[in-house]
Structure 1
Amino acid sequence: MKRNPRKVKWTKAFRKAAGKEMVVDGALDMERRRNVPLRYDRNLMMTTLTAMKKISEIRAKRERVFYKSRVISKKRTAEKTAMLKHVKMNMELVPTATRKRLEESKVLGQKVQNEDIEMA
């Protein structure tokens, strides 16, 4: 059975098209196969091994940044909306000074600032 790889969720093509994989990354180009065989050279081998270590560090760092930008930012916004909902439902438990400040800044209809949520 033939399938379009961009529609099958487990393929690399789908993950790249959906924005779940890093598409443009210079470190990925280093791993391409080269069809030209090289004669053994000790210095070349040592520089290649050190470059491989650096590339793996760079890739790990870029993947962490990519993950943070995709997943953690969405998680934080979800947590903030959950906290806001919790504050709205339990407004009688909030101290009066904080409650007045929340009402003055009209936060009940908008987003809650971090300090207001933490104090509540």
Structure 2
Amino acid sequence: MRIDTCYFCSSKIYPGHGMHFVRNDCKVFKFCRSKCHRAFQKKKNPRRVRWTKAYRKAVGKELAVDPSFEIEKRRNIPMKYDREFWQMSMEAIKKVTEIQKKRQSTYVMQRLRKGREVEQHRDIREVQRDMSLIRSPAAGLKQRLLTEEKLLEEEQENDVEMISAEDENNIDHSKLSYIKI
């Protein structure tokens, strides 16, 4: 069973579906649905129409270059049927599809990771810029009052110590009477 691809959107066309358009120079265009056929008739470029696979690959939303795509090449050379070769090729196809899925998912995750990093950076900048909206001026008021009280007490203690030191220096020792026991 041959599964063709749509000329416009690159989606799969199964047997019995879609339509063929043959130009005067015998070039065959296969379309999956009338939407693609109409867009082709309007001479739309598939790389500029956002819903096509060509657009997604051109913009970098999907994996475009990968060695696993080489297996999907169309081969028109008829092969003699060989059961072993058929089984080996089916196993190879399964392995390749698994590899493609893994690579595609990692590619998408890397793209999303970049977006998350940009979003986090933007959020951090916004929070730093608008901190007054998040934290009210009254927040931490008790702590500020306690620290101010401690500072005042320390200043008062320092003042008392300085006054007592000055008093000791100004005392006249001649007027002091010593008591002998």
Per the alignment, residue 54 of structure 1 pairs with: 95
For the pair shown, the structure with the greater C-alpha radius of gyration is: 2
How many residues are aligned here?
95
The runs of at least 4 aligned residues of structure 1 exceeding 4 Å deviation read 91-94
Q: CA deviation at 1:41?
A: 0.6
Structure of greater relative contact order (alpha carbons < 8 Å, 6+ residues apart): 1
Name the structure with the higher strand share.
2
* Runs of at least 5 residues in structure 2 that lack an aligned partner in the other structure: 1-41, 144-181
Kindly state the Cα deviation for residue 85 of structure 1 after the two structures are TM-superposed: 3.0
The Cα shift of 1:66 comes to 0.6
CA distance in 2 between partners of 1:91 and 1:36 (Å): 73
- Percent identical: 36
Q: How does 1:19-30 map to 2 (within 5 A)?
A: 19-30=60-71
Q: Which amino acid aligns with 2:94?
A: K
- Cα offset, 1:49, TM superposition: 1.2
Indicate the residue corresponding to 2:126 in structure 1: 85
Structure 1 residue corresponding to 2:104, chosen from 44, 63, 86? 63
Which residue matches 1:8?
A: 49
State the 1:84 CA deviation. Answer: 5.0
Q: Give the residue type in structure 2 aligned to 1:50.
A: E
| Structure with more helix by fraction | 1
TM-score (norm 2): 0.46
Counterpart CA distance in 2 for 1:81 and 1:54 is 41
The CA distance in 1 between the partners of 2:66 and 2:101, in whole Å, is: 12
Partner of 2:78: 37
What is the SS of the residue equivalent to 1:60? helix
TM-score, scaled to structure 1: 0.65
